[in-house]
C-alpha cells in the first residue's frame, strides 16, 4: 500500500477508473504486494530446529453434510506442526458470505489468508454489482484462488478448502470439493477433507440419511469428527477439559448461522456418552432406523 493515497489525500485515479467487480483483479493492478499470490518461496524445507521444525501448521478434518433445509459444515480445532500441537482452538470453518461457508484443510496460515481474500472478493462483488454472486460463481472464484497457490502447493504448502452453501437459485444446500490444482467437483449428500477425512467419510457413509433435520445433521457431523479424531493424530477431538468444541456452521435459505457453544455442549456430551464403553458408537443416533 505504498501508493494508497497521493499527497493531496484525494482518492487515487485507479479507484475512480471504471473496471472489474473483482477485488482481486483490482488489487493486483493497484497494490499487488497485499495479495498472497505475489510471494514465492525458495526451494527446500522451511528453516528451524526442534520438534515440528520445518513444518507449517496443517492437517485437519472438515465435514459437510447436506440436509433438508441446507447444509451443515463442521471442523475440528487442532493445528499441528509435525508431532507438536501448534494450536488447540484454531478456527477452520468460516462464513464466507450470507449464504456460504468454507472449511480449510492444508497449511493454516495460507488457508486463512485465502479465505480472508475470498470473503472480501464476494462482498466486493456484491456491493459493486448490487446483487449476490451465484453459487457457481463463488465456487469458481475459489477455484481460481487455489490455482493461484499452485506454485506454493508444489513446494508442499498446499491449501484445499471445502466450500458449501445454500444455492438460492436451486433452493438447496450444495457442497463443492477441490483438488490442489483448483479443480472443483460437486459433492452429493456429504463430503470431507483433511488428514482425518478417510475416517470421517466412513462414519458419514454409515450415519447419513437423506432428509435429516438440522439437529440430527449436527449430531452426525460431530460423530464423524469424533471418528476422525479417534484415528488421526492431527485431528483434535472435543476438548472437554478446556471446553473447546468443534466449529459448526449451518447455512439455510435464512443465511449462515454459527452454532453457539452453549447449544453444542449438550450434543458433544451426548456423543461422548454414546462412546463410553462403546468406542464405535451407536449407528442408530439419527433416530430414523426402521
Partner 1 sequence: MSVPFYVSPEQLMKDKADYARKGIARGRAVVVVACADGIVFASENASRALHKISEIYDRVAFAAVGKYNEFENLRVAGVRYADVRGYSYDRSDVTARGLANAYAQTLGAIFTTESKPYEVEIVVAEVGRTPETDQVYRLTYDGSVADEHGFVAMGGSAEQITAKLRERWAPGLSLSAALRLAVEALGSDAAAEAAGQGPRPIAADQLEVAVLDRTRERRTFRRLTGPTLAGLLDPQG
CA-CA distance, 37 to 47, in Å (whole number)?
A: 21
Which is nearer to partner 1, 1 or 43 (by Cβ)?
1
Residue 45 and residue 18 in contact, taking contact as beta carbons nearer than 8 Å: no
Rounded CA separation 149/65 (Å): 27
Instruction: For residue 280, count CB atoms less than 10 angstroms from its CB and return exposed for 0-12, middle for 13-18, buried for 19 or more.
Output: exposed
For the bound state, the minimum distance from the C-beta of residue 215 to partner 1, rounded and expressed in Å, comes to: 24
- Shortest CB 11 distance to partner 1, Å: 5
> Active-site residue numbers?
60
**CB closer to partner 1 out of 18 and 266:** 18
Query: Could you tell me the strand order of the sheet in which 172-178 lies?
Result: 93-97, 100-106, 159-167, 172-178, 184-187
What are the cell numbers at 17?
477508473
Residues that bind partner 1 in the complex, under the rule CB under 8 A: 1, 4-5, 8-11, 15-16, 18, 23, 26-27, 30-31, 34, 116-117, 120, 123-124, 127-128, 130
Q: Tell me how far apart the alpha carbons of residues 55 and 39 are, in angstroms, rounded to a whole number.
A: 18
Q: Is 275 helix (H, G, I), strand (E, B) or coil?
A: helix
Q: How far is the CB of 8 from partner 1 (least distance, A)?
A: 6
Q: Which is nearer to partner 1, 27 or 105 (CB)?
A: 27
Scanning the structure block, which residue is given the C-alpha cell 520445518? 54
Task: Report in angstroms how near the CB of residue 77 gets to partner 1 at its nearest.
Answer: 21
Amino acid at each position: 500500500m505504498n501508493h494508497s493515497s497521493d499527497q493531496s489525500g484525494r482518492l487515487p485515479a485507479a479507484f475512480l477508473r471504471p473496471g472489474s467487480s473483482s477485488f482481486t483483479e483490482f488489487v493486483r493492478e493497484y497494490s499487488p504486494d497485499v495479495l498472497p499470490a505475489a510471494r514465492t518461496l525458495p526451494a527446500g524445507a522451511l528453516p528451524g530446529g526442534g520438534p515440528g521444525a520445518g513444518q507449517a501448521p496443517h492437517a485437519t478434518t472438515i465435514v459437510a453434510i447436506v440436509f433438508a433445509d441446507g447444509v451443515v459444515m463442521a471442523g475440528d480445532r487442532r493445528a499441528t506442526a509435525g508431532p507438536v500441537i501448534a494450536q488447540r482452538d484454531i478456527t477452520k470453518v468460516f462464513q464466507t458470505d450470507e449464504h456460504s461457508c468454507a472449511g480449510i484443510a492444508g497449511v493454516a496460515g495460507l488457508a486463512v489468508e485465502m479465505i480472508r481474500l475470498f470473503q472480501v472478493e464476494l462482498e466486493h462483488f456484491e456491493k459493486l454489482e448490487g446483487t449476490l454472486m451465484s453459487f457457481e460463481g463463488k465456487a469458481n472464484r475459489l477455484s481460481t484462488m487455489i490455482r493461484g497457490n499452485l506454485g506454493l502447493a508444489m513446494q508442499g504448502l498446499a491449501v484445499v478448502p471445502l466450500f458449501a452453501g445454500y444455492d438460492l437459485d436451486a433452493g438447496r444446500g450444495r457442497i463443492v470439493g477441490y483438488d490442489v490444482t483448483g479443480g472443483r467437483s460437486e459433492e452429493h449428500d456429504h463430503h470431507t477433507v483433511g488428514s482425518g477425512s478417510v475416517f470421517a467419510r466412513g462414519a458419514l457413509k454409515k450415519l447419513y440419511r437423506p432428509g435429516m433435520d438440522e439437529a440430527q445433521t449436527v449430531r452426525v457431523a460431530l460423530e464423524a469428527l469424533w471418528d476422525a479424531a479417534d484415528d488421526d493424530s492431527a485431528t483434535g477431538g472435543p476438548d472437554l477439559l478446556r471446553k473447546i468444541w468443534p466449529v459448526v456452521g449451518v447455512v439455510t435459505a435464512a443465511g449462515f448461522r454459527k452454532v453457539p457453544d452453549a447449544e453444542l455442549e449438550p450434543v458433544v456430551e451426548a456423543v461422548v456418552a454414546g462412546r463410553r464403553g462403546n468406542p464405535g458408537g451407536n449407528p442408530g443416533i439419527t433416530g430414523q432406523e426402521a
